[in-house]
Every structure is written in C-alpha cells, then in structure tokens.
Amino acid sequence: MAGRGGAPGAEEIAGIARLMRLDVPDPAEHAEKVGRMVEYFGMLDEAGAEGAGWGGGTARLGDLREDEHVPHEWEGGLGAHVRTVRRGGGTYVAAPGSGGA
C-alpha cells in the first residue's frame, strides 16, 4: 500500500527491508523519511534540470597546470596537529574505530 504522493508505505518499506535482509524495527518511521525524499525528487523533476549535466566538462591533459607541493606550516609542528585531530580538538569528528576522541 503506497503512502501519500506515491511514496512507499510501511508495508512496502518492510518488504524492501526483507528483500535486502535488513532488520527494520519500525518501517513506518522509514516510510515517512522515504516519502520526504520522494517529494524532494519530485521538486527536482519540476525544476526541469534534465540534461543539464553535472557541469564538470572535460579538459585536455595539456591544459592542466603542473602539480606542485605547497608546504603548510602547522602551529606546533605536524605532530601537534595530528595529536589535535586524534583527540578531536573541538572541531573534528573521529571516524568510528580510528582511536580518536
């Protein structure tokens, strides 16, 4: 049974989860989130961006600049910077299992 605006309902979410072998304790919660995503994609479709491409284009190898090393002076040295990143330092988020924060 589809939800509003053609979005999948809780039953469809549960069925998809079974096919993907996922444990989804509350399919209704996901149905609402998927419904919002479907609405967003509908807004993108209405914007008429088909065929616009990603805008990156192409460049010939000869048109690219030479790669060069640009040194950066870390306050307290690179080791201090790495220790700050590993501890979190208030601005970084450590990846799970990285030993940080």
Q: Is residue 37 part of a domain?
A: yes
Structure tokens at 18: 């079974």
Numbers of helices and strands, H then E, in the chain: 3, 0
Residue 15 within any structural domain of the chain: yes
Question: What local confidence, expressed as pLDDT, does residue 101 receive?
Answer: 46
Residue 13 lies in a domain: yes
Is pLDDT at 1 greater than 50 in this prediction? no
Q: Which residue did the predictor score with more confidence, 55 or 45?
A: 45
- State which residues form the domain around 35: 4-46
Residue 3 pLDDT grade (very low, low, confident, very high; cuts 50, 70, 90) = very low
pTM for this prediction: 0.36
Q: What is the pLDDT of residues 74-98, one digit of tens each?
A: 677 777 767 766 666 556 555 666 6
Residue 86 maps to a domain: no
Residue 78 in any domain: the answer is no
Per the CB < 8 A criterion, the answer to whether 11 and 41 are in contact is no
Residue 31 placed within a domain: yes
* pLDDT tens column, 54-79: 666 788 888 888 888 877 776 777 77
| Helices marked H in the chain | 10-19, 27-46, 77-87
- Which residues neighbour 17 within 8 Å (Cβ) at sequence distance 6 or greater? 23, 24, 27, 30
Total domains in the chain come to 1
Length of the chain, please?
101
